[in-house]
Amino acid sequence: MKLSSVVMVLLTSVLIRELTEALNVTVTPGPVSLCLEGENITVSCLVSQKKWSSSLLVLRWLYFPKPEDERLVVKMNFKKAMYYGNYSLSFSQTKFYLWEEMEGEVYSLLILNVSREDRGIYSCKVQEIRKHRNKWRASSNGTGSMELRVHYLGVPESTDNIWRWFQAPVPHKPRRTKLLKVQPRKSHMPRVADDSLTYAELELVKRAPEAKRSSLGTAQLETNANCTGTVYAQILFVEKQV
């Protein structure tokens, strides 16, 4: 009895020691990473300090939108076969992609087209297993986590709207009332016609004959034969009232 009890204690202590010696698992970038909405981000799981060189790794990527809500993104077994969880398969297009970047050390997860719904905690859980007496047993494990924050840009403003912030304010101009064009009035001016002209009234006056003295001393009138026939006109201007 005593021997069996000692053996059980030794086996238990060895098993506990193996399980408590955890792997060193780190997630980068972390512990907090900021990503713009619509972009892609790659998070990597770095594994070190394996206990056995011949051991294999089992890896799981988990997503926690809330601390109590665990969702399986993808799982890789010791044969390196990958199985995507129901959460990953719920998207209409490929959302996650896992690959082994460095054998046994680096496992990268690509998150495509990041949205606000993708923010939360991403955790990488790694378990080291080895074959003992034809049975696979876990020898150590480790966990690394990071928080993803998504920056939302919103609807971008047009260039014209952005430029308005740098322009000086323009004073408001009062609206000018459109005035109707005044038609010129027809003034009743005196009609210019022939009857408004100044009439010239002619009065013909025949020059009186000059008297000549004869040798006898008597005055005689000049005969018509001696007249030149020149007629003189006297013009009187009279303005006619309209």
Nearest by Cα to 150 from 106, 119, 190, 196:
119
Most confident of 5-14, 58-67, 190-199: 58-67
Q: Would you say residue 206 lies in a domain?
A: no
DSSP assignment of 181-194 equals PPPPP---PPP-SG
Nearest by Cα to 61 from 105, 27, 104, 20:
27
Q: Would you say residue 235 lies in a domain?
A: no
Q: Would you say residue 171 lies in a domain?
A: no
pLDDT attached to residue 195: 47
* SS3 at position 89: helix
How much is the average pLDDT of 112-119?
95
Q: Is-contact 26 46, C-beta < 8 A?
A: yes
Q: What is the pLDDT of residues 131-181, one digit of tens each?
A: 888 888 888 999 999 999 999 876 555 556 555 655 666 666 666 666 666
Most confident of 46-55, 158-167, 218-227: 46-55
Q: Would you say residue 216 lies in a domain?
A: no
Nearest by Cα to 76 from 103, 50, 41, 51:
103
Q: What is the dihedral of CA 138, 144, 150, 151, to 10 degrees?
A: -160
Q: Would you say residue 95 lies in a domain?
A: yes
Q: Would you say residue 184 lies in a domain?
A: no
pLDDT attached to residue 166: 56
Q: What is the C-alpha to C-alpha distance for residues 5 and 3, in angstroms, rounded to an integer? A: 5
Q: What is the pLDDT of residues 167-211, one digit of tens each?
A: 666 666 666 666 666 666 655 555 544 444 444 445 555 555 555
Q: How many domains does the chain have?
A: 1
Q: Would you say residue 118 lies in a domain?
A: yes
State the pTM of this model.
0.57
* SS3 at position 35: strand
How much is the average pLDDT of 212-224?
50
CATH number of the domain to which 115 belongs: 2.60.40.10
Nearest by Cα to 30 from 147, 126, 125:
147
How much is the average pLDDT of 116-143?
92
For the chain, the farthest-separated pair of C-alpha atoms sits apart, in whole angstroms, at 215
pLDDT attached to residue 205: 53
- Rounded alpha-carbon distances, angstroms, from residue 65 to 41, 52, 106: 17, 35, 24
Q: Would you say residue 237 lies in a domain?
A: no
Domain that holds residue 46: 20-151
Q: Is-contact 105 48, C-beta < 8 A?
A: yes
